[in-house]
Amino acid sequence: MIRVAVADDHPVVRDGLRALFASLPDTELVAEAATGREAVRAAVTDRPDVLVMDLRMPDLDGIAATAEISRLAPEVAVLVLTMFEDDESVFAAMRAGARGYLVKGASQEEISHAISGVAAGGAIFGPGVARRVLQYFAAPPPAAEVPFPELSPREREVLDLIAAGRSNTAIAQRLGLAGKTVGNHISTIFAKLQVATRAEAIVRARDAGLGR
């Protein structure tokens, strides 16, 4: 038997879900809540297996309530059932700890399947939400920011070796440059970074991840 709680500020929604759960032989409705704080209280007090959560509620919104439940009763699986399927709402709910996300209008079969899935430890999303999640993870990662873009690639190489503690002579040997050329690069680097000493340059470079 899956023990379920419902948190929604609309009585008609609670009525519909109550009727649905009464028709399912393996589901028992153990608590109802009309506000976010009531939802948190129900999760902590009644310890349902699944709490069906709306996002827009008085007192405490569903995102904040989900985060509280994840902290206070992490064994309670939160299944979001809401009108909103924008990226901000979906990913905010996931970050807060929701294990499933359905949009209102989902069929009784979809809701029943989602409750069983999250109760068993799965992550369940409605079709439209699932597409958004897949598109997010399929997108290429943002390009890493290049430290000190004002420097040329060669100047960054020199700065990286300075930050690693190399002397001018060692840098010249490593890069196959004349010692005077290395000195010129270092002067340019100091000017562009607006530092006066090698120690200052090393601190700036290491803070940016160079010299490792």
Domain harbouring 132, CATH code: 3.40.50.2300
Contact status, residue 116 vs residue 2, Cβ threshold 8 Å: yes
pLDDT exceeds 80 at position 140:
no
Domain of 203, in residue numbers: 153-207
Residues 68 and 133 in one domain: yes
Span 130-141, average pLDDT: 72
pLDDT at 31 over 70: yes
End-to-end CA distance of the chain: 56
Number of domains in the chain: 2
pLDDT exceeds 90 at position 212? no
pLDDT band at 157 (very low <50, low <70, confident <90, very high): very high
Average pLDDT, integer, range 110-120: 94
Last residue of a domain, one of 112, 138, 164: 138
pLDDT tens digit string along 47-75?
Answer: 999 999 999 998 999 999 999 999 999 99
**Mean pLDDT to the nearest integer, 187-202:** 93
Q: Do 113 and 19 reside in the same domain of the chain?
A: yes
- Strand pairing class (100-103; 124-125): parallel
**Is 78 in the same domain as 128?**
yes
* 77 DSSP 8-state letter: E
Question: Residue 147: its pLDDT value, please?
Answer: 87
Let me know whether 157 and 99 are in one domain.
no
> Would residue 68 count as lying in a domain?
yes
Does residue 210 contact residue 203 with C-beta atoms inside 8 Å? no
User: Do 105 and 77 share a domain, yes or no?
Assistant: yes
Residue 82 has pLDDT above 80, yes or no: yes
Would you state the structure tokens that stand for residue 171, as one six-digit string? 């840098």
What is d(CA 38, CA 50) in angstroms, rounded to the nearest whole number?
15
Residues 10, 107, single domain; the answer is: yes
Name the pLDDT band for 211 (thresholds 50, 70, 90): confident
Contact 79, 50 (CB under 8 A): yes
Residues 29 and 132 both lie in one domain: yes
Q: Identify the CA nearest to 144 among candidates 211, 91, 209.
A: 209
**Domain end: 84, 113, 138, which one?**
138
CATH of the domain at 188: 1.10.10.10
Mean per-residue pLDDT over the chain, rounded: 91
Would you say residue 156 has pLDDT above 70?
A: yes
Amino acid residing at 128: G
| DSSP for 10-37, written as a single string | -HHHHHHHHHHHHH-TTEEEEEEESSHH
Residue where one domain finishes, among candidates 109, 138, 167: 138
The answer on pLDDT for 133 being more than 80 is no
Residue 41 has a pLDDT of 97
Indicate whether 117 and 157 sit together in one domain: no
Distance CA 139, CA 143 (A): 12
Residue 34 has pLDDT above 90, yes or no: yes
User: Is 132 found in the same domain as 170?
Assistant: no
Same domain? For 172 and 88 the reply is no
Token readout for 21 is 């759960």
Same domain for 111 and 9: yes
113 and 39 part of one domain: yes
Q: What is the pTM of this model?
A: 0.64
Distance CA 154, CA 169 (A): 16
What would the two tokens of residue 74 be?
A: 């992490």
